[in-house]
Amino acid sequence: MNLQHTKSISPAGLVGGKKSRAWPIILEIGGILLFLLFMIPFLMVLLNSAKTAKEIIFDPIALPQNWAQIFQNIKLIFENPTTDYIGAFFDSLIITVLSLAVISIFSAMCAWALVRNKKKWSTVIFMVFVAAMVIPFQVVMFPLVRWFKIVGDFLRIPLLGSYQGIVFAYLGFGCSMSIFILHGFIKNVPLELEEAATIDGCSQARTFFSVVLPLLQPAFITVLILNGIWIWNDFLLPLLVLGSNGRVQTIPLAVTSFAGSYLKQWDLILTSTLLAMLPIIVLFIFAQRYIIKGMVEGSIK
């Protein structure tokens, strides 16, 4: 009886055991391959940032002959007479900070209002924001520039080539995803906390900023990081709103100044790209746990 029982389960048990042991190994190998695949562009930028233009053209995948060349390339970038790289850095910093401030505050207030108003119009408005997430930017980029020109002339406030114009554009394009994330997170905030604050005499504004907003920290930080990475690295929207030779420049626009019609300074292009990536890489390393936590809680709750 025992022998029959052993024979009946041993083949399936062995096959199942082999599959269960092999599957994690396959997933681990696949994860390592994907990691290497995604890291190749970063490695190429790092290697070629420590080369001269001739070395890059001769062999772009070889190791640098002198790693100290990267400091010489950085010096050339800062001393370049046609590009104000330091000014572009501060312009990018100002635009990113201002855009994140307005996107996060307005999105949080809008999501809170949509969650707490149990009416059909709130659901319709929320679905409009969700639908806006799937509209390609290329569809609206030319009408956007035209309307910015018309509205700016009407209000006598320059929206093209200015801080306020690019921040306003990022507010419009960044709110949809931010509202989607915060909307799902606010649903889990107990309504009793807001009612208790109202009983204590708090206004709606104080209830939001003193009670609701502190509870949104994981989702709020996720919104800041995701939008910050997008705004810092964005090229097409600043190109349309600010122009390639405007008074206000971002780092991606400044990098393009090293690529002319007949000459491309690959050593300076790749070194400036590396400098632009460093702040975002450091930010992502320290804040990645907030991204995962906020995305999961905001999309499920």
Share above pLDDT 70 across residues of the chain, in percent, rounded to a whole number: 87
Q: What is the pLDDT, as a whole number, of residue 226?
A: 85
pLDDT at residue 137 greater than cutoff 80:
yes
pTM of the model: 0.79
Any idea where the domains of the chain sit in the sequence?
A: 2-49, 72-300
What does each C-alpha distance from 289 to 28, 124, 160 come to in angstroms? Answer: 21, 32, 37
Q: Taking 60 as the threshold, does the pLDDT of residue 30 lie above it?
A: yes
Per-residue pLDDT tens over the stretch 55-97 = 888 888 888 888 888 888 888 888 877 778 888 889 999 999 9
Instruction: Kindly state the average pLDDT of the residues 141-147.
Output: 86
pLDDT, position 1: 46
Q: How confident is the model at residue 3 (pLDDT cuts 50, 70, 90)?
A: very low
Q: Which fold has domain 72-300?
A: MetI-like fold (1.10.3720)
The set of residues, in sequence order, having a beta carbon less than 8 Å from that of 177 and lying 6+ positions away, is 133, 223, 226, 227
User: Residue 6 pLDDT more than 70?
Assistant: no
Tell me if 183 sits within 8 A of 114, measured CB to CB: yes
What is the pLDDT, as a whole number, of residue 102?
A: 93
Closest CA to 145 of 242, 248, 232: 242
**Confidence class for position 247, pLDDT limits 50, 70, 90:** confident
From 15-24, 85-94, 174-183, the region with the lowest mean pLDDT = 15-24
**Digit-coded pLDDT (tens) for 250-293:** 888 888 877 766 677 888 888 888 888 888 888 777 776 666 66
